Structure 1
Amino acid sequence: MNLTVILVIILTTVLFVLNYRMLQMKKNVTNIVDQIVAAHSRDKNFKNQEFLHYYKSNGNIWLSAMEPMFRKSLTLKAAVCVFSIVGALVMIGLAYVEDIYILAVYPFLLLVFLIKLAMDIKLVSSDDKKNAKKSMSNYVKLYPYDPTAKGIKEGKTDKLHVWYMTAKKTSVQTGRLGKGGEAQEAIAKAQEGKGPKGPRPPRPGFRKPGRR
């Protein structure tokens, strides 16, 4: 078998595996957010359907508030995705240079996958103002028919600052409750792109048996 063929197949497969973990991380973030929501189901804010939509739209932001390393992990994975896009283009070009056109199909499929993945990546800033603005954009994009989302598009609502601070505070408190336990472990696994079950934040007032 031609050395070029072997090289393209191996590198394309490696790049696919590296970036597939980003999809796993996205699923894990959703899982963790759902469990945080379940833990706060009695909270009046989470009984508000629009606030619930807003919270679910911005899992990356809230997990970054719980664990700052998660934000750096997102940035690193985004950089890997960009590098992989360049790599896929190089391999497509290599296949054409070698006149093995059928070989270009594999890295081309990888390229399509990577572009779609890059469009779904939601990076998180260290600046609250930027994150608040980004959270608004994410919410409007996913739930455009919510009355609050319509108000945002028309510039007629001032809820977002309060919502952002409430959501961030809730997430940080949840992270503290889970320190050393399942919450931190789940976030760490989400960063790695593995498949955790996610945190189960303890409910307020929970006491261990035998203690008063």
Structure 2
Amino acid sequence: MRKQTTEVIAIGDELSTGQRLDTNSHWLSNQLTNMGLSVQYHSTVADDVNAITDVIRTAKNRSNFILITGGLGPTADDLTREALAAAVDQPLIENPEALQHIINLFKRRSREMAPNNRRQALLPQNATLIHNDEGTAPGVDIIIASSEHRARVFCLPGVPAEMKLMFNSHIIPAIRQDMPGTPQITRQYVVKTFGMGESNLEHKLPQVFQR
């Protein structure tokens, strides 16, 4: 059975300009590979709604699972929600459960909620909320299906601690439920060599390099 193709997309000017290292994609790719998924693509996209929309449109036509991190905050440059809605051709709808979570979080922290935090409760019309127990940015889970292809998109906050908790609590069970048949096992081997170049090694050990 062909492995389910997976794609990881990281959003943020701080990543595309090299100001910050993208540790989220590294961590997610490792987790997904250990689940038996084939991570085929990585993308890093600036905070530009058109650029993000284009990347999501491409991803949904070639990958089975798409994981997006970043761009779910309350400020004007947090554009993942808008880009996802445009890519799947659905309006953004305020999710009452998400809004109540944000309100309650500010109350628990004895802080006043700014009006722009309400943006974080917007989800594409057919999307499912992913709960975020640690922050104000809920995640998004949406299935995009056609007669030729089915893709499932997960959007997570860029904050690593929040992203990891939501991945473990929601995305692992969701992907396992979606994967047909017995889960595949990925085995990785490390072969340490010295004194010989890669091209010579491939000639002497062709079976190691075969895919």
TM-score of the pair, normalised by structure 2: 0.24
Which structure dedicates a bigger proportion of its chain to strand?
A: 2
TM-score of the pair, normalised by structure 1: 0.24
| Rg (Cα) greater in structure | 1
